[in-house]
């Protein structure tokens, strides 16, 4: 869980957060104005921590001098099930293929078939490592959003203060 503090009212912070999430092409799953937003960001076939599909949760709390934002990122269950199913199926098919080839030819995996299976095994192993890395670094997007919110919030806060000074 990541936390941030913005010098804006909870309504203004909520509005800015919605704009930032919309600009990042997030799909809103649940909104409870002005206290919470849940959105989905990324694609199921993304291969970086930013492009991988994830759900983002933001809770906003009113404080005397601004708004405190708590945020978290997690993988949707259907993505996790798809990844586990994909890798399980790939490894099962590879093991069946290896068993058939070694029994068919009664030789260890050599030649073209051996090269293909070693290549496929390496490819799926590297893909699994990429997905593990993406899972571990899924909060990179939250850091980016909180930083944007803090920057936009401080600019908006300054404009509001300048407006109050001009009126006085």
Domain ranges of the chain: 2-75+138-167, 78-133
Structure confidence by residue, pLDDT tens digits, 8-43: 889 999 999 999 999 999 999 999 999 999 999 988
pTM recorded for the entire structure? 0.77
Which of 62, 72, 57, 73 lies closest to 8 in space, CA to CA?
62
108: Cβ–Cβ under 8 A, 6 or more apart, which residues? Answer: 102, 114
Question: Angle of helix 77-105 relative to helix 111-136, nearest 10 degrees?
Answer: 160
Q: What is the pLDDT of residues 4-16, one digit of tens each?
A: 888 888 999 999 9
Query: What architecture is domain 2-75+138-167?
Result: 2-Layer Sandwich (3.30)
Distances (CA, A) of 137 to 5, 52, 96, 132, 151: 22, 10, 34, 9, 23
- H/E stretch holding 98 reads helix 77-105
Sign of CA dihedral 161, 166, 167, 168: positive
Query: Could you tell me what percentage of the chain is helix, strand and coil, using 3-state DSSP and rounding each to the nearest 5?
Result: 60, 25, 20
Q: Render pLDDT for 132-167 as a digit per residue (tens, 0 to 9).
A: 898 889 899 999 999 999 888 877 767 767 776 777
């Amino acid at each position: 869980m990541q936390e941030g503090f913005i010098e804006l009212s909870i309504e203004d912070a909520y509005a800015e957060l919605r704009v930032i999430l919309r600009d990042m092409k997030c799909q809103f799953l649940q909104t409870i104005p002005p206290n919470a937003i849940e959105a989905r960001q990324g694609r199921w076939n993304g291969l970086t921590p930013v492009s991988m599909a994830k759900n983002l949760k933001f809770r906003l709390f009113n404080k005397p001098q601004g708004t405190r934002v708590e945020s978290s990122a997690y993988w949707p269950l259907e993505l996790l099930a798809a990844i586990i199913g994909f890798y399980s199926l790939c490894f099962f098919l590879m093991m069946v293929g290896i068993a058939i080839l070694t029994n068919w030819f009664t030789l260890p995996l050599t030649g073209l078939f051996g090269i293909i299976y070693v290549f496929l095994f390496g490819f799926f192993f590297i893909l699994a490592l990429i997905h593990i890395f993406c899972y571990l670094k899924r909060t990179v997007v939250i850091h980016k959003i909180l930083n944007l919110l803090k920057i936009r919030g401080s600019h908006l806060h300054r404009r509001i203060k300048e407006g109050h000074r001009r009126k006085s």
